[in-house]
Amino acid sequence: MAERVYPADSPPVSGQFSDNFSSGEFPRKPATYVIQVPKDQIYHVPPPENAHRFQHLSKKKVHTSRCRCCFCSALAAIFILIVLAGISLAVVYLVFRPQAPKYSVEGFSVSGINLLSPSPSSPKFNVTVMSRNGNGKFGIYYEKGSTVDVFYEDVDLCKGGLPVFYQPAKNVTVVKTVLTGSKIQLTSGIRKEMRDHLSEKILPFKLKIRAPVKTKIGSVKTWTINVNINCYVTVDKLTAPSRIVSSKCSHDVDLW
| Residue 237, domain member (yes or no) | yes
Residue 28 lies in a domain: no
Q: Judge if 122 and 197 occupy the same domain.
A: yes
pLDDT at site 82? 87
Residue 42 placed within a domain: no
pLDDT tens-digit readout, 204-218: 999 999 999 999 887
The pTM of this model reads: 0.65
- pLDDT per residue over 71-129, tens digit each? 788 888 888 888 887 776 665 554 455 688 999 999 999 999 999 999 999 999 999 99
Q: Please indicate, yes or no, whether residues 84 and 146 belong to a single structural domain of this protein.
A: no
Residue 155 and residue 196 in one domain: yes
Tell me: do 118 and 84 sit in the same domain: no
Residues 90 and 210 in one domain: no
Query: How many domains does one find in the chain?
Result: 2
Instruction: State residue 119's pLDDT score.
Output: 94
Are 205 and 164 found together in one domain?
A: yes
156 and 221: one domain? Answer: yes
Query: What pLDDT shows up at residue 85?
Result: 76
In a domain, 15, yes or no: no
Question: Are 92 and 182 in the same domain?
Answer: no
| 164 and 200 inside one domain | yes
127 with 222, same domain: the answer is yes
Per-range mean pLDDT, top range of 39-43, 150-154, 217-221: 150-154
- pLDDT > 50? residue 1: no
**Confidence at 65, pLDDT banded by 50, 70, 90:** low
In a domain, 20, yes or no: no
Q: Look up the CATH number of the domain holding residue 137.
A: 2.60.40
Structural domain containing residue 66: 49-96
Neighbours of 50 (CB within 10 A): 10
Residue among 129, 160, 125, 150 at smallest CA distance from 241: 125
Mean pLDDT of 129-133: 97
Condensed to tens digits (0 to 9), the pLDDT of residues 231-244 reads 999 999 998 888 99
Say if 16 falls within a structural domain: no
For residues 233 and 121, membership in a common domain is answered with yes
Residue 11 has pLDDT above 60, yes or no: no
Residue 27, in any domain of the structure: no
